[in-house]
Amino acid sequence: MQTGAKLAVNPPPQRTRGATIAQCAILAGGLATRLGTISREVPKPVLEIGDRPFLAWLMRELQRYGVEEFVILTGHLSQAVQDAVNAAADALPKRTRLVFSEEPAPAGTAGALRYARPHLAERFLLCNGDSLFDTNLASLLADAAADSAETLGRLMLCALPDASRYGTVQRDGDRITNFAARPESATAGVINAGLYVLDQAILDGCPDQGSLERDVLPALAAAGALRGTLGSGFFVDIGVPEDLETARHELPAVLTRPALFFDRDGVLNHDHGYVGGRDRWTWMEGALDAIRFATDHRWHVFLVSNQSGVARGLYTEQDAHALNGWVADEARRHGGTIDDTRICPYHPEGNVAAYKRESDWRKPGPGMILSLIADWRLNKQYCVLVGDQSTDMEAAKRAGIEGHLFSGGNLRDFIAPIVAGRMPDTGNTV
């Protein structure tokens, strides 16, 4: 395919989409020629940033938005990438599935993606393995969920005061119309941030060898099949030595986040008593806005919930997890995210034998909170729990974090001063 060529597209049929996309492909096969000797023996995506490889930071961020499987597209020093990613996955806050697709010969980003096609879902995320944009990715997911079937790709865009290292993106509203060459001088511009939501149909137009950015995306734009979501936040591309050093000095601090723990029943939803399915779920006023507000302000958002209805036989543990998955997806559809969830299905007076017991995860026990703090490497000083019961406040106290008692009303209005007034010291690490 030639740059600017017309692309015949066959869009998938219109369907009701969830916002969460469970699979992300990561381009990790480049030669990194601009880094010189720095990446001669260590592949660029797994260069150490703080206490972990760069890809580990990227994967951790993507897990916040519901990614459960990573397809790693490798080429240069493929085995070194695999070894580093396998090791890094053990330290991620959530379990993940890993798939590796090694191109048989250098094929460019488009060729690598086409070669990986057997591993790719009908709809997937794609990201560059050498850049990270600290932005609210849920805004991209929410926009993509609302796109028509004619839109085959949506890009996360970033406005830079100096876009001279990158090509820029031309737009008509949110429709991407063209990709322009790099500005000749230090000029502000909107760039492709290297994060995409893609339908597998775009692979029909991928050459066996070629560039996604030069050979595929312009044709999709010309066909009216590309849209963009403009984000804001810290952006770094480690492809040149000076920006690699910037990442090493700044990225661990930038990704230090405060954490908001929500109780569920009586906080996110009206407590109708043992809510185990969507049919009995009613959102609290301002709850979805509260989640988005916290996400926009760079907070982790977690859910911690006693679910004794499981022990009492009113619904299953699988029912509880399915409902919480739907809650997280609805949050992403609204432009926020729930990073992770803990439930306690146990109760000493339950009538289901497997769940009839005491547990320090059951609030007022601190177990659920402490589990999330450990898995996400949180600083307790910047953790806050919002609950509606005295047991929630006691659990927060036992976990060593701050608690706020919610007695009803608009949840977004309740949490706004908490979120706005408590940001982390950038000297802390995650």
**In the prediction, which pLDDT does 31 show?**
61
Identify the weakest region by mean pLDDT among 19-23, 40-44, 223-227: 40-44
Task: Check whether 95 has a pLDDT greater than 60.
Answer: yes
Mean pLDDT for the chain overall: 91
| Closest C-alpha among 417, 342, 329 to residue 372 | 342
- Is residue 12 pLDDT above 80, yes or no? no
Token pair belonging to 241: 């030595």
Question: 214-260: per-residue pLDDT in tens?
Answer: 999 999 999 999 999 999 999 999 988 888 999 999 999 999 899 99
Residue of 186 and 103 predicted with greater confidence = 103
Q: Is the pLDDT of residue 7 over 50?
A: no
Handedness of CA 303, 305, 311, 312 (dihedral sign): negative
The predicted pLDDT at position 37 comes to: 58
Q: Name which of 132-141, 181-190, 300-309 the model is least confident about.
A: 181-190
Whether 425 shows a pLDDT value over 70: the answer reads no
pLDDT, tens digit, 9 for 90 and up, residues 278-294: 999 999 999 999 999 99
Mean of pLDDT values over 409-427: 81
Looking at residue 35, what is its pLDDT?
Answer: 64
Mean pLDDT (whole number) for 76-83: 90
Give residue for tokens 């591993």.
119
Inform me whether the pLDDT recorded for 29 exceeds 90: no
> What residues are labeled active site?
263, 265
Residues 6+ apart with CB under 8 A from 46: 28, 53, 54, 55, 80, 81, 84, 85, 88
Q: DSSP alpha helices (H): ranges in 90-200?
A: 108-115, 137-146
**Token digits of residue 301:** 């958002």
Residue percentage of the chain with pLDDT more than 70: 92
Amino acid 427: pLDDT? 38
Stretch 410-422: mean pLDDT: 93
Q: Sign of the CA dihedral 126, 130, 62, 48?
A: positive
| Tally of CA atoms within 13 A in the half-sphere of 252 that contains its CB | 15
- Listed in sequence order, the residues at least 6 apart from 249 whose beta carbon sits closer than 8 Å to its beta carbon are none
pLDDT, position 39: 59
Peptide bond into 364 cis (omega under 30): yes
What mean pLDDT comes out for the span 74-86?
91
Q: How far apart are CA 149 and CA 10, in angstroms?
A: 9
Confidence (pLDDT) at 139? 98
In this predicted structure, the answer to whether residue 11 has a pLDDT above a threshold of 50 is: no
Structure confidence by residue, pLDDT tens digits, 320-358: 999 999 999 999 999 999 999 999 999 999 999 999 999
Instruction: Return the pLDDT at 124.
Output: 98
pLDDT at residue 2, as a whole number: 35
Is 9 a residue whose pLDDT tops 50?
A: no
